[in-house]
Structure 1
Amino acid sequence: MYKEDVVLIDAEQPFNGQTYRIGAVARLTGIPPDTLRVWERRYAVVEPIRSEAGTRLYSAQDVGRLTLIKRLVDNGDAISHIAALNLAQLQERSRGLDLIPAADADRPPCRVAVLGPTLPTLLTRDEAYVATLGEGVELAGAFEDEHRFHAAIADLRVDLLVLERPTLQLDRIAQITDLFTASGATRGLVVYGFAARAAVERLESQRIVTKRAPVDVAELARWCAALHGSEKTPTPEAILDGVDLGSPIPRRLYDSATLARIATGSPTVRCECPHHLVQLVSSLVAFEQYSRECENRNTDDAALHAFLHAATARARATMEAALARVVEAEGIDI
């Protein structure tokens, strides 16, 4: 690594790992250095450590946090309102932002129906709240009573149904899916207060998105726009933007010796998939290490190789999960 772009912290300093100078952070996050300094001074968005010479040094976690904050600010959140949120809260609030499609003048608005105890009142109590949903979203109906919902829904031609539930339990999933079927909506969003993990997983396996309450009107509008356009194939830029440098690099599921055993194992059926997957994972492991060690000549190089390392690690983890599924299905003993 070129020492003016990336610095490795000594073991005696607050934490160990790779750090980035402010120029590289600006490239990675899209936040100008002057803006970053103001955000640090006024809102304490991150607390970089200082080198002996007084240079700011940012961790990968700092970069990830700043990336999320930049996305939210670009989508209308005030920096003063989100600066104090922790990483988990920032990640939750930014869910769905990368799905929002480019504006399309010929695309009809997303027709939304809402059923639940509080959101309908919030959305219909005055015209200003309805207007907050934006031009691309049209409120087709808001219902607190399920009987009124069933009586009116067939005539509303709904694209998206937003269902509000204080709790989610497995024994209520069938009732929820029946409501989505009755609405005729192509997409669904469930806003919940408390839920069993199994219930959330069951809904998401049926392509029904879940979001923990509270949800304000601006956030609901973003979700409506995102889900309305989420059938589009994501662009390469959108996929790249989804690489979170602040998340820990996924740990390897299989070491090299285990990969070798899988490749030479005897599957229950005649299939070369285990062998091919081992080759793919091994190649990704090698490039992951290469991209981390690759020499950086300047700030642009540091930013590029940070992305390459994180993106390759994500791809490797995905293929390891696929390999694990094949190992289980084929009955390979490792």
Structure 2
Amino acid sequence: MMEASNKGQERIMYRTGAAARLAGLPVETLRVWERRYSLSDAQRSERGQRLYSAEQVARLGLLKQLVDQGHSIGVLAGLSREQLQSMLGLDGQARAVAEAPVRVLLVGAVLSRRIAAMGQGAFGLDVRGHCDALEQAVRLPSDAGADVLVVEMSELDETAVAPIVAARQVTGVAATVVLYRFSPSATIRALRAQGCLVARIPADLAELALLCQSALDGHRPPLQAIAVPTVMAPRFGEEDLARITAAGTQVTCECPRHLSELLLMVGSFERYSQQCASRNPEDAALHAQLALASGRARMMLEDAMEQLALADNLPLPADWR
């Protein structure tokens, strides 16, 4: 996973798999990005494996976040970390938070490793204690001077509400931030009713410091305002996909046809959900979320189609961007 290099002082380096996981990327995506866009000056181990520094891993996390928002990786690849942060609107805010680091207690093994790997000071965090699992949180120190309890749970459900409240009371923190990947809406509402700030796990750790500061300031921003990327308009029309399918018959791989079918189906469901949201007031929020989820899936499939079309010399739309 990691390798140490002794040149004056020990420097932790991450192999491709570990770097991808820390940045929130599939390993295959990172390899494609490196091959096509030469994203970083990654070092090589004695066996020829790529090695990434914490700074490079942090930049990969920024790239992933911006690509999720609909930006082209081809445009982003040549930008510096500072430029990427500026595009996310995090540069000035992150510097302001860094001037007065937020003192936190962490619950969650992956989150603790990410912060340790990238250096807590770089993101305006002062970690006063941590544990791997929620059931251990009541043993976190109450005299550490921490201001915020940060709980990371990939799958969050109603059974976590009482332990999180208990951990907050034991540790005596002023605010609680709960991070998740998947959770029922009822659980999110229950935690917010307890005064917790609840948000999806951020790709960029600079965003975590901002969430902690928002919790301390008493802000309770809607989840979408922090975590949900913008859904761009479709880049492939039905005629464009038909041309790609026709051209794909000239190659042995059937992926162009299968991917076109997936894009047609996901795009159709996205439009269907949007229509349901507008004509059914009772379920409007649910169908809006379905439309958003399918739109994000469609954007990812469009990126895959772009890579496939460029690799196999298939026709892209005339106004491709």
TM-score (norm. length: structure 2): 0.38
Larger helix proportion of the pair: 2
> Which of the pair has more CA radius of gyration?
1
The structure showing larger relative contact order (alpha-carbon pairs under 8 Å, at least 6 residues apart) is 1
